[in-house]
Structure 1
Amino acid sequence: MNDTITAKDKFHKSLHKYARLKRFFERFSADPEFMRNLQSDFEDTLKKNHIRIDREEVHYLFEKSSQDIPDSVKKMWEIVQSKQKWVEQFYLKDCLPSNSSMLTWRNRQIKRQKYDLGPFFTKTNIHSSLAVELSQGCSVGCWFCALSPDSLKNTYSHQSHQEEWIRFIQIMKSFLGDAIKSTFLYWATEPFDNPDYEKFCIDLYNETGVFPPTTTAVAHKDIDRIKEFIKISSKHGSWLNRFSLTSLGIMRTVHKNFTEEELAEVECLPLNKNANYTYGNSGNFRERTKADPSLLIEQDEKLRTAPWHNQDIDYSTSEDYANGSICCVSGFLVNMVSRKIQLISPTTATDKWPLGYIIFDEAKFENIKDLKTTLIKWENRFFNNEMTPDDLVQFYPWIKPHFTEEEIILQGRFNQKKQFFVNENPCMISIIKIINSNKCSFKDIQIKALEEFSISLIDSKKIINTLFSNGFIIENQKH
């Protein structure tokens, strides 16, 4: 617990320490014209954009002769590093499911994501266990939205449903244990579409001890409400809020109406088309790129300038677009209005999974008792350490096996590889070849392996489950 407190304190300290510089780089990353305007009139450009820094803090932008890393870049990197330490400590250590079978399932999904979505996505993802929507649909309608919500239809009333809401949190807490702390209360929704959003957050805090992070695209519309929310979330120890700023005008409005200190613990994400930020290629944006492939090419060119991308040969030599999902949940997605629960996990968006996440199953619930029944049912069905005899054994289509005299290599996207040594796994090549050439159940593969290669049932079972546990096998397919 001390490590967690230390990590958050260090992150917040760096945010407040460099709040003015943070605002500068928010604008810098959003607006290609900003640099040119700075060169022609530095002071006036800052004043128009409500930024207060000294030229000396960013002088390196105008003087390219020095090869040293500028101090301002070091300061921004300090924020990035302290944030990542918090994510790793809180989400990847403190917020693990107490249900051991769900933990095994979650770990398997995380392993798969490394080969599916790449190591950068996997490492920086929070891998939350629960996201809850308190509205049905969204009022904002961003053209690039990776989750493609319908227009706003209804909201979940706190006055009418507080007792049910608290009972819901308690049931999920009893099932998830510490993982309940990773909950956030939006998905394909705008949090502040719900007039009671703040009350739901406080209830969650009272039941779990954690005030959830929030991402909103309407920070410019109700300044007083958002300011008050920032105070409430800070008072209750929230680690971060985010503003999605979809235009330069909205960024200017936000920067005009909020001081640097007020936004110190708020990430202002520039989501205008010309910003350095790149869109997730799923949902609405993916549909746009199908009609206009140049959109994805433009985004990919920006993405490849990121240090984690261009300095990693696995990424830089891959033709895949390295932002195929914005999903950050390996667990449950619940809509309290439609009363629907889904079991989901991130994946690269495809025609089968166009929103960038696998839906393992979904169910409706009339009441909390129904919800509990579904959780128990899914625990028995999905949260298994091993495959069952009737499960279909099939690699994900992006897994490519390679063999050498000494190694067995399973390669995913972005050149990610899992290596097994032939001398330690002498039967694995034969099992992989059977999987690739036949659409067979677990038990049928065992029979083929025994009859054709004299591989014992025990050995074939061990090999198949090794491949399964590493996230290479499509889950829950029955033959």
Structure 2
Amino acid sequence: MMMQTEELQQEIITPPFNIKEFCLDYHDSFATIDQVDPKLLAKFSQVKRFQERWEADGKFREQVVQDPYSAFFRYGLKLNPEDVRLKWDTSCKDILQFPLLKLSQGFFDRLDKVTDIDSEVSDSHIRAWRERQIARTSSQFNLAFHKVIQHIPVSFELSKGCSVGCRFCAVSALKFSDIFLYTPENAKLWRGVLEVMTGFLGTAAGNGFCYWATDPLDNPDYDKFCLDFYAITGSLPQMTTAQPLKNIEQTRAILKLSREKNAICNRFSILSLKMLEKVHQEFSDEELLNVQMNFLNDEAENSVKAHAGRQREANLKKGQGDEESHRQGTIACVSGFLFNMVERSVKLISPCNADERWPLGYMVYDQGTFVDPDDLKILIERMIQDHMPRMLRPSDLICFRRDLNYQTLVDGFQLSTRIKTFKFHHDSLWKELGALIHQGQYTTAEITQLLALKGVTSANISFYLNVLFERGVLDFEPQPQEG
């Protein structure tokens, strides 16, 4: 027989604990778990499990609304439902009336904040190129998505293909076929590659991670590569995996290593409710405190399948075209260098909304292979030379991006997407410059020459052109390459 509400309350509510007293001692953000009282961490862990089940499971949400105490008891949540009633009770408006929920929100917000890129790329050409990519995407991605996209400077695939095979994979990962094992030869190459990239990127290299169209836990030596990464860059790479249960002891060891090295959070991609239940069974509250759950199961409340790769192909078959306003058109989060260590290859990439030209949701500006670290250094230097000028070059063909709508203004022009509008006006030079660029047939030198005939100084022309260059509105989109 179902327990009565009063009994459930006694069963669920843990020993007396005055959360308001703790609110006086803690701020809304925390640098590390070590800063937080263990009693408060225990509360946070239960709030986290509740929120994960709430987001993942529609039936749980229905049960909570009907009878929260019974639902919490049924799912083993050691939490007073009244502490989180704001999540389902529309009559509750003010989060300040729910101090545990507010404080835990501040604690878990830090998992997003610590992934922010706070290290500046040391090479000025790479840094300026990345800033232009970020400026470009600000008018291509919706605001909410643009705020969270990382633009990481480097990532490394430690295998070829992926064993998971998600039907919605936004990067259309190949079938798993090979592994970059931690042999003496491979370890030497790996450390050499990390040293080369740290030379170009500086401490920002530590923001990199070791997966892409791969799952990191397909590589049995993943933790060994991470330790080298830490030794050379000073940071432990963030891990996102769709198979935390493949080798539970390996996953547990990686999570322990992350805590010991004060690393940023890791992420588990949850593909089914059964998988979530197993994760909650196999890993302790403490182990999961620094783990974000990315819910991709069909029942999830806010599951978003990006319109890219295999999901894009499925959407197109349903008549959902690229021109529609998709919530997310890519999962790509690198503006920089993508390595595959099996192939000894590297690509220069940056995110974009997936379309016919870039179906995987990222542009490939260049690519090549290398034999050893010295060869890699030459390859990276060539990519910088070819694609990362600090200013426009005389021979550059100047035209606007293909996704921008050009319109003349009385004293200038404007460029717009459905996301953002740029206005360049209050000066007659803008109007003349916009008209020339819109024709899409003149180089920097030719535009300078045409405007010089009208008495405009080359310095002034250069300044205006480079304002457009830095704003990311000029077309430097590469042509797709084979392979």
Fold equivalence (TM over 0.5) = yes
The verdict on how the C-alpha distance between 1:101 and 1:321 changes in structure 2, with shifts beyond 3 A counting, is: same
Shift, 1:17, TM fit: 5.5
Larger radius of gyration: 2
2:138 equivalent in structure 1: 114
Tell me if the contact between 1:406 and 1:422 (Cα under 8 Å) persists in the aligned partners: yes
Tell me if the contact between 1:114 and 1:121 (Cα under 8 Å) persists in the aligned partners: no
Partner secondary structure for residue 156 of structure 2: strand
1:315-330 correspondence runs (5 A): 320-330=325-335
Tell me if the contact between 1:50 and 1:252 (Cα under 8 Å) persists in the aligned partners: no
For residue 355 of structure 2, the aligned residue among 324, 341, 350 is: 350
The verdict on how the C-alpha distance between 1:354 and 1:477 changes in structure 2, with shifts beyond 3 A counting, is: closer
Shift, 1:15, TM fit: 7.3
1:274 equivalent in structure 2: 299
1:412 equivalent in structure 2: 417
1:381-400 CA-to-partner distances (Å, cap 9, x unmatched) read 12211122222212112222
1:245-394 correspondence runs (5 A): 245-275=270-300, 276-293=302-319, 320-394=325-399
Shift, 1:375, TM fit: 0.9
For 2:35 and 2:474, locate their aligned partners in 1 and report how far apart those are by CA, in whole Å. Answer: 41
Moved more, 196-205 or 259-268: 259-268
For 1:449 and 1:382, locate their aligned partners in 2 and report how far apart those are by CA, in whole Å. Answer: 26
Residue 431 in structure 1 maps to residue 433 in structure 2: yes
Shift, 1:76, TM fit: 5.2
Partner secondary structure for residue 354 of structure 1: coil
For 1:207 and 1:191, locate their aligned partners in 2 and report how far apart those are by CA, in whole Å. Answer: 19
For 2:35 and 2:267, locate their aligned partners in 1 and report how far apart those are by CA, in whole Å. Answer: 14
2:32 equivalent in structure 1: 9
1:400 equivalent in structure 2: 405
Residue 227 in structure 1 maps to residue 228 in structure 2: no
Residue 123 in structure 1 maps to residue 147 in structure 2: yes
Tell me the TM-score normalized by structure 2.
0.85
For residue 142 of structure 1, the aligned residue among 162, 166, 170 is: 166
Identity of aligned residues (%): 30
Tell me the TM-score normalized by structure 1.
0.85
Tell me if the contact between 1:410 and 1:417 (Cα under 8 Å) persists in the aligned partners: yes
2:13 equivalent in structure 1: none
For residue 231 of structure 2, the aligned residue among 190, 206, 218 is: 206
Shift, 1:371, TM fit: 0.8
1:260-315 CA-to-partner distances (Å, cap 9, x unmatched) read 22200001111112311212211111111011246x99xxxxxxxxxxxxxxxxxx
For residue 102 of structure 2, the aligned residue among 65, 74, 82 is: 74
The verdict on how the C-alpha distance between 1:106 and 1:288 changes in structure 2, with shifts beyond 3 A counting, is: same
1:86 equivalent in structure 2: 114
**Amino acid paired to 1:78:** G
2:475 equivalent in structure 1: 474
For 2:375 and 2:366, locate their aligned partners in 1 and report how far apart those are by CA, in whole Å. Answer: 15
Moved more, 361-370 or 438-447: 438-447
2:45 equivalent in structure 1: 19
For 2:35 and 2:342, locate their aligned partners in 1 and report how far apart those are by CA, in whole Å. Answer: 34
For 1:73 and 1:321, locate their aligned partners in 2 and report how far apart those are by CA, in whole Å. Answer: 31
Residue 237 in structure 1 maps to residue 265 in structure 2: no
For 2:357 and 2:414, locate their aligned partners in 1 and report how far apart those are by CA, in whole Å. Answer: 27
For residue 125 of structure 2, the aligned residue among 87, 96, 101 is: 101
Partner secondary structure for residue 243 of structure 2: coil
For 2:384 and 2:79, locate their aligned partners in 1 and report how far apart those are by CA, in whole Å. Answer: 54
RMSD of aligned C-alpha atoms? 2.6
Partner secondary structure for residue 34 of structure 1: helix
1:123-164 CA-to-partner distances (Å, cap 9, x unmatched) read 322221110000000000011111111110100011241111
1:308 equivalent in structure 2: none
Tell me if the contact between 1:391 and 1:477 (Cα under 8 Å) persists in the aligned partners: no
Tell me if the contact between 1:131 and 1:332 (Cα under 8 Å) persists in the aligned partners: yes
1:224-278 CA-to-partner distances (Å, cap 9, x unmatched) read 2212221122112211110000111111111122222220000111111231121
- Equivalent pairs counted in the alignment come to 444
Shift, 1:319, TM fit: 6.3
**Amino acid paired to 1:473:** L
The verdict on how the C-alpha distance between 1:411 and 1:83 changes in structure 2, with shifts beyond 3 A counting, is: farther
**Amino acid paired to 1:422:** H
The structure whose residues are more often helix, as a share, is 1
The verdict on how the C-alpha distance between 1:53 and 1:121 changes in structure 2, with shifts beyond 3 A counting, is: same
1:154 equivalent in structure 2: 178
1:440 equivalent in structure 2: 442
Tell me if the contact between 1:283 and 1:356 (Cα under 8 Å) persists in the aligned partners: yes
1:178 equivalent in structure 2: 203
**Amino acid paired to 2:45:** A
Partner secondary structure for residue 111 of structure 1: helix
The verdict on how the C-alpha distance between 1:352 and 1:421 changes in structure 2, with shifts beyond 3 A counting, is: same
